[in-house]
Amino acid sequence: SAVISQKPSRDICQRGTSLTIQCQVDSQVTMMFWYRQQPGQSLTLIATANQGSEATYESGFVIDKFPISRPNLTFSTLTVSNMSPEDSSIYLCSVLIWGEQYFGPGTRLTVT
Amino acid sequence: DAKTTQPNSMESNEEEPVHLPCNHSTISGTDYIHWYRQLPSQGPEYVIHGLTSNVNNRMASLAIAEDRKSSTLILHRATLRDAAVYYCILWGKSTFGDGTTLTVKP
């Protein structure tokens, strides 16, 4: 299993600003993922971030809006850039270990 | 893109078994079937996964149809703490789907 922490746990931001979310894992993992969960909805994959390679973005998500860093096997950041109210969501990081996927507690972002 | 369909909601009584169905008729031969559950204000929690054979772990059992077009998550004795949204996904696909909200009645 894996213990995943995220910072911040929640934030309220003004439109036009950017927020960087940190994800820390207690073990070394190759595959890490970032998801978005909009209010009352299911999870949507933003991108896959494997250490040592560029992040792979899903349809509808672009690097300029959601830049991701993956400097080592236990850490990643997701930046939500030039925020608008439509970016208000819970953002979750996740890792895959031996076929099992584990999720962080999420970062609740509200954009005003 | 292969997707899954689940009932929006199900109810169960405490201490009784629960069978949560999932249809995935467009599944490909290499798609793993994963189940997760999400309690309010928490990230999803891994429950179980399988490819072709039925699987058991300490949390649940997963029954996979022979043609793999459907599967069933079995909670053998539901407790109040099992009340959650249960997601059936084909691992690697980008969207979780709407899931089934399980209500457990005491």
Sign of the dihedral through C-alpha A29, A34, A61, B99? positive
Q: Does A43 sit within 8 Å of B44, measured CB to CB?
A: yes
Task: Tell me the C-alpha distance between A80 and B100, whole Å.
Answer: 30
Residue among A79, A78, A72, A89 at smallest CA distance from A25: A72
pLDDT of residue B2: 61
Task: Tell me the C-alpha distance between B87 and A8, whole Å.
Answer: 26
pLDDT of residue B93: 67
| Angle B37-B38-B44 from CA coordinates, rounded to 5° | 85
Q: Does A100 sit within 8 Å of B94, measured CB to CB?
A: no
Selected residue with higher pLDDT from B19 and B26: B19
Of B42, B87, B94, the CB nearest to A58: B94
Which pLDDT band holds residue B5 (cuts at 50, 70, 90)?
very high
Query: pLDDT tens digits for B91-104?
Result: 876 678 889 999 99
The pLDDT tens digits along chain A (112 residues) read 789 999 999 999 999 999 999 999 999 998 899 999 998 889 999 999 988 888 999 999 999 999 999 999 999 999 999 999 999 999 999 998 888 889 999 999 999 9
Residue appearing with tokens 């997601």: B87
Q: Does A59 sit within 8 Å of B34, measured CB to CB?
A: no
Task: Tell me the C-alpha distance between A76 and A67, whole Å.
Answer: 11
